[in-house]
Amino acid sequence: MRTSKALNITRKYADPDSRAARLTRQARAVMPGGNSRTTVYMAPYPPYAAEGHGCWIVDADGDRRLDLLNNYTALIHGHAHPAVTATASARLARGSSFAMPTPEEVELATLLVERLPAVEQIRFTNSGSEAVMMAIKAARGFTGRHKIAKFEGAYHGSYDYAEVSLSSTPGTWGSLAEPSSVAYSRGTPPAVLDDVIALPFNHPELAARRIVQHAGELAAVIVDPVPNRVGLMPADREFLERLRAVTAAHGILLIFDEVISFRVGYHGAQGYFGIQPDLTTLGKIIGGGFPVGAVGGRAEVMRVFDPTSGPPPVPHGGTFNANPVTMAAGLAAMRLMDRAAFERLAEFGAKLRDGIAACFKDAGVAGSVTGVGSLLKVHPGNRALSDYRSSRQDAAEAARLDRIVRFLLDHGVFLSTTGLGCLSTPMGDAEIEGFLEVFATALEAERRA
Ligand SMILES: Cc1ncc(COP(=O)(O)O)c(C=O)c1O
């Protein structure tokens, strides 16, 4: 095992004269907090990315780190994969967007419909947030009802309805049986809170009872089967089965948000769990590194978007929807992700999660790891995790996770400040072993602290 002396030190960005510091000063003059994306901020300021190759990122100060975040799980082949880059560049050279559909859109739609058991028809957006927004609108248009139900703590993008109870706290979350609908952004209209019912994740009886209570008003129940912000604990299969049964019994649509969880396997989380939702939202990996989202599902429901017989019940525009560069890159990326590629990533994922758990045990530091397939999340505590409430960190735990993640950042590894990580196909045994050595050293530092 390497000692900390042998570790790469990657903290040039932290120098007050670093390029990152200078860029931050410039950025703050023209952008609030110097930031366009809340999740990439870190105090006092983040390193800036210069380039990425495979599973490595070089920052603007020249430091190189193993990228275990992959743009929050979007980059399943890491950075600048030659096949994806060549395909996207070739498409770009022939025009990047048109007020016409393109052949690439049809090909990517066909691939996704073939792979996802519950998707008969699909259409594209530019982000997962838009995909969720359109799924909710489709459910409302199809059912004629306007309320939705979502799970406490679950993230479904930047849309008022999808954000309800995303970060509720012990002071605001109410009872487990009837979680309060809590605003995430200041200024959320009270009507939004009235129209979103919060549910407890992984509690089949409680969730089903609450769904039945509101059945006549609910257009949809949206669930992420492996919800990152809830703690990245995979849903219990019985829980999903119960949701499927109770929604079907009451004419409520079940939406699977697979923006992240499509990573779980060739047939997505719906294939992994063997459950067929009515609608599915996608994003991230299906765009080959370009902005993307998609909403798909049963043809009968998707018909709300169909413009062939006059204005559709749910019109859906978008200047860059299904733009051919994203579609071409997505096709190249997804074609590379055959069954064997998903299986290989899942094997490495299990190895990495086992390794992380062993590091915590060996170091005698409280911590655990959740995830499935190529996804993982490091938790700074030892208790059993099952839902949002059990995975919410106290101040001491949050501080411990922050120290661990910063140690990694300063020693050649990039992981989310929330502990989220994922694999990319360029990674192999060497990267996993290298990561575990740095992780073990981080925990050793933590134990001594
Ligand atoms: C489960 C889930 N749904 C939706 C979204 C929103 O996707 P986007 O960031 O592309 O808008 C995310 C983003 O992280 C997500 O994790």
DSSP result, 202-216: T-HHHHHHHHHHTGG
| Ranges of residues in the chain whose predicted pLDDT is under 70 | 1-6
75, 136, 155: which to mutate for ligand 1, most atoms within 8 A of CB? 155
Cβ atoms of residues 398 and 406 within 8 Å: no
Taking the CA of residue 284 as reference, the ligand 1 atom at the shortest distance is 10
pLDDT at 1: 40
Cβ atoms of residues 165 and 195 within 8 Å: no
Cβ atoms of residues 253 and 220 within 8 Å: yes
For 308, the 3-state DSSP assignment is strand
CA of 6 to the centre of ligand 1 (A): 37
CA of 284 to the centre of ligand 1 (A): 8
Q: Is 102 in the pocket of ligand 1 (CB under 6 A)?
A: no
Which residue do the tokens 């086992």 mark?
Answer: 354
CA of 164 to the centre of ligand 1 (A): 15
pLDDT at 101: 98
Q: Is 228 in the pocket of ligand 1 (CB under 6 A)?
A: yes
36, 161, 224, 260: which to mutate for ligand 1, most atoms within 8 A of CB? 260
pLDDT at 436: 98
pTM (whole model) above 0.95: yes
CA of 358 to the centre of ligand 1 (A): 31
Q: Is 259 in the pocket of ligand 1 (CB under 6 A)?
A: yes
CA of 40 to the centre of ligand 1 (A): 14
Q: Is 155 in the pocket of ligand 1 (CB under 6 A)?
A: yes
Q: Is 293 in the pocket of ligand 1 (CB under 6 A)?
A: yes
For 18, the 3-state DSSP assignment is coil
pLDDT at 7: 85
Nearest to 74 by CA among 115, 126, 36, 31: 126
pLDDT at 449: 86
What is the side-by-side order of every strand in the sheet holding 49-53? 49-53, 56-59, 64-67, 413-414
pLDDT at 4: 46
CA of 413 to the centre of ligand 1 (A): 23
pLDDT at 6: 63
Taking the CA of residue 292 as reference, the ligand 1 atom at the shortest distance is 10
CA of 415 to the centre of ligand 1 (A): 17
Q: Is 292 in the pocket of ligand 1 (CB under 6 A)?
A: no
